[in-house]
Amino acid sequence: MDTNEAVSRSPRPRNSAATKELLLTAATAEFAEFGLAGARIDRIAERAGANKRLLYVYFGDKDQLFEAALHQQIGKLAQETPLVDGDLVAYAAARFDFMLAHPETARLAAWLRFERHGHSTQTEIDSYRSKVDAIAAAQREGRVNDSIPAVDLFAMVLRLTESWLDAPPALAAVTGTDPRSAHRLAEHRAALLEATRRITAPRTGDRPDDADA
């Protein structure tokens, strides 16, 4: 019996949704640590406590599993870090908190850039496009600085939200304190929001109520 035949005949567990979630969680941890090339199906199955044949049944192959794990992380990020009415300060706060709590998301994105240079999923593109459109709308309404193109402004804020979390160890050491201590993180978060506020605030004379003054 060849592998494909064995997979097609493998019994599915009663709670297939729970098993798929376990495999996705295990795959996310594996890909975040080793990347797509370095990840191993055997280790993912072992992490999940599942038969590795089920991985092929549910996801097809390792590439498709990576895509599924990435899609899930993008979905979580989008859900927990909405950009409401072009409010980039609130967005920066939410994204910083999310990336701090979910370092695997940043690592998956880094592996994607390294191993699949230039590759983007439609989910990613749509997520970014909706946010850039929201910023452009806020700029037209005079609520956000319009001296910087919306896409560039968003790119800057994205990098700001990860500037300390992705800082070189030598730079983090300059503070002389634990770079992940609650005090240092709170201090940086405050600085991040102030920086975001300054670069996104409408220029004097651009605010809608300035015209009535």
Give the closest residue to 50 by CA, choosing from 20, 72, 73. Answer: 20
pLDDT at 14: 53
pLDDT at residue 2 above 50?
no
Residue 212 within a domain: no
Name the pTM for this structure: 0.81
Q: Are residues 101 and 195 in the same domain?
A: yes
CA distance 202 to 86: 12
Q: Are residues 90 and 181 in the same domain?
A: yes
Q: Are residues 115 and 183 in the same domain?
A: yes
Q: Are residues 96 and 186 in the same domain?
A: yes
Residue 209 within a domain: no
Q: What angle do CA 60, 65, 69 make, to 5 degrees?
A: 150
Q: Are residues 110 and 20 in the same domain?
A: no
CA distance 28 to 35: 10
Q: CATH number of the domain that 10 lies in?
A: 1.10.10.60
HEC profile of 98-167:
HHHHCHHHHHHHHHHHHHCCCCCCHHHHHHHHHHHHHHHHHHHCCCCCCCCCHHHHHHHHHHHHHCCCCC
Residue 66 within a domain: no
Q: CATH number of the domain that 158 lies in?
A: 1.10.357.10
pLDDT tens by residue, 198-210: 999 998 755 445 4
pLDDT at residue 11 above 60?
no
pLDDT tens by residue, 143-160: 999 999 999 999 999 999
Q: Are residues 189 and 105 in the same domain?
A: yes
Structural tokens at position 158: 């994205």
CA distance 104 to 120: 18
Classify residue 98 as exposed, middle or buried by CB count within 10 Å of its CB (0-12, 13-18, 19+): middle
Domain count for the chain: 2
pLDDT at 7: 39
